[in-house]
Amino acid sequence: MAGGSSHLAPANSAGPLRSWQWEESRRQGSGEVDGGGRVEVTVLADQVVRVRFNGSGRFHENASWPLASDPGAIWPAAQTQVRETEACFGIHTPQLAVIVGKSPLRLSFYDSRGGLLSQDDPAWGMAADGRRVELWRRRLEGEAFLGLGEKTGPLNRDGRSWTNWCTDVWPHLPDTDPMYQAIPFLLGWRPGRVWGLYWHNTFRSYFLLDDSGGPGRWGVAAEGGDLDYFFFAGSELSDVLRLYTDLTGRMPLPPAWALGYQQSAWSYTPQRRAEEIVEEFQHRRIPLGALYLDIDYMDGFRVFTWGKDFPDPQRLAQKVHAAGGRLVTILDPGVKVEPPEEAAELAEDGGGRQGGKACDPAAAGPAAVAYEVYTEGVAEDHFVHAADGSLATGVVWPGEAAFPDFVRPQTREFWARWVQRFVQVGVDGIWNDMNEPSVMQEGKAGTLPLTAKHGPDEAGRSYAHAEVHNAYALLMAQATQKGLLQAHPDRRPFILTRAGFAGIQRYAAVWTGDNHAWWEHLAMAVPMLLGLGLSGVPFVGTDIGGFMGNCNGELLARWTQFGVFSPLCRNHRATGTRDQEPWAFGPQVEAIARAYIRLRRRLFPYLYSLFWEAAQTGAPVLRPLLWHAPGPESIAAAGNREAFLGPALLVAPVTQPAADTWPIWFPAGRWVHAFDGQVYQGPSEQIVPAPLEQMPLFVRAGSVLPLSPWESAPDAGGPAADGAGGECRLAAWFWQPQDLQSREAAQGLVWYRDAGEGFAYREGAYCLIRAIPGCSSNGLTLQVLAEPGSHGGAFLPGQWRLSLEAVPRRPAAVYVDGQLAREIPAAAFRPPANAAADGDDGPVWGMEEGGPGPLAEPLAAEGLLPASGKSPRVWVRWASAGRRSWEIRWEWA
């Protein structure tokens, strides 16, 4: 049994209801249970119910840090009807029915059609003994279990017992559990019926999806607190993710630069080495979005300091900025225990800190030797205490360290002040690590004593570490975000975190921790990132190439190919391992890496729009097959090796060495190979070519994609760097009527544009462009509608260029808003210098018989694909001329 203790049920299961009362004003039913227990069932929305149970009759009030706001204030009031029979109470909304069985107390959830979603196990149900709480559910036929955040193994979590306890673990293997993140959110899926269960309890908890509770049931348990969960009902995964992220919050729109390719290593030191890395990216024409500094930039691993090897961090930041990138530095929570008298002894021995004071590299010399972060933290009581009131410490990188008590609002302010001071030299983002929190114990990772004391919080309540541990990284990220905003109120903060709990998406991106340069870890990355996305965390990635162990050229090429389609794209390695920058393995791998990093740049407008969607709805950026193609095949083997990047792209990374073909499951519809134009018909499984330079990548026929020039590096201007009033590039993959039958094609493209930085978009400084394909009597149409925000046409393109890909033949005529477009030779059409003049005279179009498609161009430029191809296309260009809607029509002879 996970956790080393036996089950409570059935001996402590809830018995019969002794009383029941419904309060319509609160839409809450509550009652007493035989033995002194108490239950509450609160309808928060038509599809959301909260259930609480305690064996003692008095609720513990579980910590609310994971919640974005008061659950009672999130949704419109539900419409409820309550009915009673001899056996049960029924609570009905337009979308959901909750049946509360009287004897014994058991809950069942049904959808609006009367279909069973989920129900308590008849024999076990809910149980509590004052120390442990459990919920046992009946297992339904054909039910798949998804979510639970960062977990190893397949996307379907069924068949295993899972622990939620933030853990610094290495190495992680296919059966390792727990991991760094602890997100107690489970999704249940059957065709047409989806539910979610958020276990609102920060103590160590377990999802028992194996047979540990016996056949026919599954369970959830926690080692403290109340039985407290939110139940969400829906017909699709998107319904439930929207509701769950209503509750726990959504990822804020990140700065555009954070979507670029990011380079890291433990460590780029001294400073000159870091500067050389930046120069290499410029010399080799590889776009660099961010450079990371690991722990060796600090003085003796003291947080908020710069060591002697980094004499001028401001110059380094300026160099990174000049290259189009941003600077990100690591911060750990462990603050070196260094009383002033010890610091003075170090100074006398010649071991004084470079810069003397934290954050102040200009004040060199041993005159001011006190480590202010520690002395201020002690003086203001900002550190966690042991049960006996002494300072709770543990060994981490600087040696003995104290840990900020982020439960206290004053401590979050303390940390934010230091972040604010620290980033003034030009640091753009913060990387939170070792924040489980991790403590080094005899060669393995531990944490603070579970009896350590935190608080008081805003309400005057104190906590043991057993309740705070899982939420520690969440609270640290909150404090870090506040510091970045205080330093630069006009900039969007970027934080990367290793550990986290439900709600971490409000503050930070997540990477999957200390992986290895193993093919198995590349394969594990697919379901791991998909599981995080299904748990409300869309901004996720892995260490490209693997953190531990020595990568090789083939593995780096394949991992980079997948990494550029991951929401977070970062290459990182450990000290003592082989270099794995894009150029580290010779010209072939460098060319592959450069081409795919540039391909990510080409797809930037599409990717950025997916991030905007995630910020609006909670939808993942990288999505499981089940998201757009629900069915048993999408949960089977293909569901663990393929993914959708938004609705248009099917991504299938090669995760085995020496493979030159790869099996692909194609969902229903036509799929166009992004590089060679080959068309595949689904639903079917086929073997496709996969030479080293080509990761299988397919475009859904019926799709329209917005594209950027791939030739240039990412710019801080983000989407607007393509030109407010400049040229808008669209590419469409459709020409058969059946291509437009999918829901995704009918919805069309939603392209979001803003400045890529700052918060003016919240006040309407953006433009939303929709492109919806259709058919006419003898051809194709594309409706383009621009919806500027309140700032008018600030982000409305002045010129439009649209390519219709993989057309079967030359059109007889092309019209833009009923105006016949003039045909010009392709050679005259393509150069930008001629384009503006042509567009001023009205719409023009041209035909290309072959050549690399728009997604293949970066690869063709590197010699990885032939310059000619099988993708004839029609190009159309027209000027905006102050208008905001257009219809483009292609007519065939």
Point out the residues that are catalytic. 433, 436, 514
DSSP 134: E
The answer to whether 645 and 621 are in contact (CB under 8 A) is: yes
The 3-state secondary structure of 473-532 reads HHHHHHHHHHHHHHHCCCCCCCEEECCEECCHHHCCEEECCCCECCHHHHHHHHHHHHHH
Q: Is 671 exposed, middle or buried (0-12, 13-18, 19+ CB in 10 A)?
A: buried
Buried/exposed code over 85-120 (b: 16+ C-beta within 10 A; e: otherwise): eeebbebbbebbbbbbbbebbbbbbbbeeeeebbbb
The set of residues, in sequence order, having a beta carbon less than 8 Å from that of 69 and lying 6+ positions away, is: none
Bond before 647 cis per omega within 30 degrees: no
**What distance in Å separates the CA atoms of residue 862 and residue 724, rounded to the nearest whole number?**
30
Mapping DSSP to helix (H, G, I), strand (E, B) and coil, where does residue 861 land? helix
**What distance in Å separates the CA atoms of residue 543 and residue 522, rounded to the nearest whole number?**
10
The answer to whether 847 and 826 are in contact (CB under 8 A) is: yes
Residue with tokens 């801080």: 716
**What distance in Å separates the CA atoms of residue 845 and residue 728, rounded to the nearest whole number?**
15
Tokens of 244: 């769950």
CA-closest candidate to residue 560, choices 572, 576, 578: 572
User: Which backbone phi and psi does 347 adopt, to 5 degrees?
Assistant: -65, -40
Position 598: which residue type? Answer: R
Please name the residue ranges forming H helices in 124-236: none
Residue with tokens 């993942």: 620
Tokens of 362: 């200009």
Say how many C-beta atoms besides its own lie within 10 A of residue 726's C-beta: 12
The answer to whether 150 and 183 are in contact (CB under 8 A) is: yes
Residue with tokens 């202010």: 372
Tokens of 813: 């005529």
- Angle at which helices 409-422 and 472-487 pack, to 10 degrees? 50
Please name the residue ranges forming H helices in 694-764: 743-747
The set of residues, in sequence order, having a beta carbon less than 8 Å from that of 243 and lying 6+ positions away, is: 45, 47, 48, 196, 232, 234
Say what the alpha-carbon torsion angle 317, 322, 324, 328 is, to the nearest 10 degrees.
Answer: 0
DSSP 126: E
CA-closest candidate to residue 411, choices 359, 457, 450: 457
Starting at the edge strand found earlier in the chain, the sheet holding 116-119 runs: 81-84, 88-92, 96-101, 106-111, 116-119
Mapping DSSP to helix (H, G, I), strand (E, B) and coil, where does residue 346 land? helix
The set of residues, in sequence order, having a beta carbon less than 8 Å from that of 57 and lying 6+ positions away, is: 32, 36, 37, 38
Count H helices and E strands in the chain, helices first.
Answer: 17, 54
Say how many C-beta atoms besides its own lie within 10 A of residue 427's C-beta: 22
